[in-house]
Amino acid sequence: MSDLQQKFLQFALDKEILKFGEFITKFGRHSPYFFNAGLFYEGSRLYQLAHFYADTIIKNNLDFDILFGPAYKGIVLAAATSMTLAEKNINKPFAYNRKEAKDHGEKGILVGAPLTGKILIIDDVISAGTSVLESIQLIQQEKAEPAGVIVALDRMEKGIKDISAVEEVKQTYQIPVTAIATLQDLLQLVANNPELQTHQAAITAYREKYGTI
C-alpha cells in the first residue's frame, strides 16, 4: 500500500466515511465495513478527496483529454478534480450528463466541454456498472474514445456474476479501471493498526466468501 492510499483510507476513517460494523449491501450481504461517498459533502472534505483523485491520476499516468462525471455524484467529482489538477498545472476540461435531456436554452443531455479525444470517466464507486455503460454510450455517440474509469474504492467483491463490477467493466469495454484504494489496501491498514485489528477477522472472512481473488 502506497502512502497515498494509506492517507486516503485514514482520511475516510477520520471523517467516518469509512465505517466498521454490520451493514447490508445492495446485494443483501452482511458487510463488516461500509464506504459512504455521499458524506464528502463539506468543502474541505471534497477538496481533499479531489486531491486524492488528482494524485492518483498523476501517479498512474492516466492519459486523457477530458474528465467526464456521470450524474449525479460524478458531476461534483469531475468539477472538483478538474480544479485540483489545474492547481498542479494540468489543465483538463470536464463534462457531465443530465438525467433528462433539456429542450430549451442549452439543449441536450451533455453539459461542459465537447466530448472529443480520450475521455476519463470519474465516479465514486462502481456498483452494477450501469452509469459506466451509459457514460460509454454517450461518449461513443459523440465519436470520442472512453479512456478509462477512476473510482474512490474498489471493494474487490463479486457482483451478480463471479467477477466484480470493476472486472466486468474492464473485460466488457477493454478499458482500465483505477481506484484510489482497494479492499486489499484496507485489509493492510487494518492489520497494521492495533486499534482496528478487531475488525480484521470479519473483513477477511467476508473477502474469502465474496471476494474476487
Catalytic residue among 102, 118, 158, 209: 102
**pLDDT tens by residue, 97-152:** 986 655 544 556 899 999 999 999 999 888 666 778 889 999 999 999 999 999 99
Pairing of strands 18-24, 30-35: antiparallel
Rounded to whole angstroms, the Cα distance separating 70 from 181 reads 20
**pLDDT tens by residue, 20-69:** 999 988 778 899 999 988 899 999 999 999 999 999 999 999 999 999 99
Nearest Cα residue to 10 out of 190, 202, 183, 203: 190
Active site residue 51: no
Question: How far apart, in Å, do the first and last CA atoms of the chain sit?
Answer: 17
Task: Delineate the domains of the chain, giving CATH numbers in brackets.
Answer: 3-210 (3.40.50.2020)
The predicted pLDDT at position 101 comes to 57
The predicted pLDDT at position 106 comes to 53
Tell me which of 71 and 181 has the higher pLDDT: 181
The predicted pLDDT at position 104 comes to 45
Active site residue 104: yes
Q: Are 132 and 169 in contact (CB under 8 A)?
A: yes
**pLDDT tens by residue, 146-188:** 999 999 999 888 877 778 888 888 888 899 999 999 999 999 9
What is the pTM (predicted TM-score) of this model? 0.90
Q: Are 179 and 172 in contact (CB under 8 A)?
A: no
Nearest Cα residue to 87 out of 120, 134, 126, 54: 54
Catalytic residue among 104, 107, 158, 161: 104
**pLDDT tens by residue, 81-104:** 999 999 999 999 999 998 665 554
The predicted pLDDT at position 15 comes to 94
